[in-house]
């Protein structure tokens, strides 16, 4: 996605920055039976090409899902921001990339560090991202109440789609 692609004043770089600051997302994959499966994952890195990287175990169900069907969705949520990313995922055991992304918290999962043969990376190549920005819970309630009283639609914020 080029940085010129915008929706409601947002560029791909803006959304990547927000995802990086949110850090944790729900990763949804498709299992061997065609069912959607979601789990929380920590974003290890968003690189210059907008690829998103996650550390995982090579023998995990999510790794199997990615190998079997690379379609993926990532949902990032913060107080007033929601971002949904659709893309394709692949599994890699690239040693250099694992070393680059290694952090102390990963040691709890991989005793041998980035050299651990069970350590792998999920690389997500985003295709599109949808985002919503709106008021927090209290402000949303006030806006909905005011709209109901005035018989109008509440302004619940911005929504847009960005090609990645």
The residue assigned the tokens 């107080």 is 79
pLDDT at position 159 is 53
- Tell me the Ramachandran region of residue 81: left when phi exceeds 0, alpha when psi lies from -120 to 50, beta otherwise: beta
pLDDT at position 90 is 99
CB atoms within 10 A of CB 9: 8
> How far is it between the farthest Cα atoms of the chain?
63
Mean pLDDT of the chain: 84
Read off the pLDDT of residues 16-36 as tens digits, 9 standing for 90 and up: 999 999 999 999 999 999 999
CA–CA gap between residue 132 and residue 6 (Å, rounded): 14
DSSP state string for 62-125: HHHHHHH--EEEEEEE-SSEEEEEEEEEEEE--HHHHHHH--GGGGGT-TTGGG-TTEEEEEEE
Backbone dihedral angles phi then psi of residue 139, each to the nearest 5 degrees: -65, -35
The residue assigned the tokens 């991202």 is 129
pLDDT band at residue 157 using 50, 70 and 90 as cut-offs: low
Tokens at 74, concatenated: 């990532």
The answer on pLDDT for 3 being more than 70 is no
Read off the pLDDT of residues 84-123 as tens digits, 9 standing for 90 and up: 999 999 999 999 999 999 987 888 889 899 999 999 999 9
pLDDT at position 36 is 98
Higher pLDDT, 14 or 154: 14
pLDDT at position 79 is 85
Read off the pLDDT of residues 129-140 as tens digits, 9 standing for 90 and up: 999 886 555 444
- Domains of the chain by start residue, with CATH: 6-163 (2.30.110.10)
């Amino acid at each position: 996605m080029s940085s010129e692609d915008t929706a409601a004043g947002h560029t791909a770089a803006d959304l990547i920055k927000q995802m990086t600051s949110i850090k944790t997302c729900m990763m949804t994959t498709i299992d061997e039976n065609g069912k959607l499966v979601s789990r929380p994952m920590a974003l290890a890195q968003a690189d210059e090409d907008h690829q998103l990287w996650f550390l995982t175990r090579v023998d995990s169900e999510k790794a199997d899902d990615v190998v079997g069907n690379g379609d993926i969705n990532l949902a990032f949520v913060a107080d007033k921001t929601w971002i949904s990313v659709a893309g394709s995922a692949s599994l890699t055991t690239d040693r250099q990339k694992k070393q680059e992304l290694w952090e102390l918290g990963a040691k709890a999962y991989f005793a041998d560090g980035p050299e651990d043969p069970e350590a792998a990376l999920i690389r997500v190549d985003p295709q599109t991202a949808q985002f919503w920005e709106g008021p927090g819970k209290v402000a949303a309630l006030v806006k909905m109440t005011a709209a109901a009283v005035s018989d109008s639609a509440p302004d619940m914020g911005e929504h847009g789609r960005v090609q990645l």
